[in-house]
A = this chain, B = another copy of it.
């Protein structure tokens, strides 16, 4: 339910009903564009199911993946404050169902409900903290460490030895999300196997020791496993 999202936590029943009466649920096919950079968007978006990538494109046509989102992640909400032109594009990378709430209704709620504006502040603060950490990683972690960190985020905090996980989406998308070229990603996976006991085969990953992997990655980070970011990503 959309009411699980931090944005709508603590809203009154009438406020939730008003939102609900104006929201639209829409299906997007694989690789279908939800909006393009500089579009004047008219909604904020919430992933009900599926996967969505947020990206920007350079003048030379290269793509930078800003975020990859799944169930219960919100996006497009920056437009509530900064005007309707959006600074990135959004595309469904799998068949996805998206809840769309009109910006006008969100703005009304923002001016009438201090609970809602506090929720929005919380969301943006959490995102900023997450982004700060990401800039830190891009500056100080090497490629194998960045992949290792990505994998640790898929583990549970009590995972220990011989953990099997599935990659949530395509390896080329993971590489791009982590700011790596395909060749770098491939080399980094080899190094991760040799130095931290991580075996990747297709979309399956075996981590021989979470402790070993976190020791390998988290030395070059200001936090350590299990870090708060794990929870913060689910916004």
Residues of chain A at the chain B interface (Cβ within 8 Å): 37, 56-60, 62, 64, 66, 78, 80-82, 87-88, 110-111, 114, 117-118, 120-122, 124-129, 131-136, 138-140, 179, 218-222, 224
Given the contacts A58-B221, A58-B222, A140-B58, A78 and B135 also touching, CB distance less than 8 Å: no
Whether A81 and B132, one on each chain, are in contact in the complex, defined by CB atoms closer than 8 angstroms, is no
Q: With a CB–CB cut-off of 8 A, which chain B residues contact A222?
A: 37, 56-59, 64, 87-88
Q: With a CB–CB cut-off of 8 A, which chain B residues contact A218?
A: 59
Instruction: Tell me what chain A mostly uses at the interface: helix, strand, loop, or mixed.
Output: helix
Whether A219 and B60, one on each chain, are in contact in the complex, defined by CB atoms closer than 8 angstroms, is yes
Nearest-neighbour CB distance to chain B for A199, whole angstroms, equals 25
Whether A64 and B118, one on each chain, are in contact in the complex, defined by CB atoms closer than 8 angstroms, is no
A66-B87 Cα distance, complex, nearest whole Å: 22
Copies in the complex: 2
Whether A135 and B219, one on each chain, are in contact in the complex, defined by CB atoms closer than 8 angstroms, is no
Residue among A80, A122, A128 with most chain B CB within 10 A: A128
Nearest-neighbour CB distance to chain B for A222, whole angstroms, equals 4
Whether A125 and B219, one on each chain, are in contact in the complex, defined by CB atoms closer than 8 angstroms, is no
A30-B190 Cα distance, complex, nearest whole Å: 45
Would you list the 10 A-B pairs with minimal beta carbon distance, nearest first? A139-B179, A124-B124, A56-B222, A138-B138, A64-B136, A131-B131, A81-B125, A60-B219, A117-B117, A59-B219
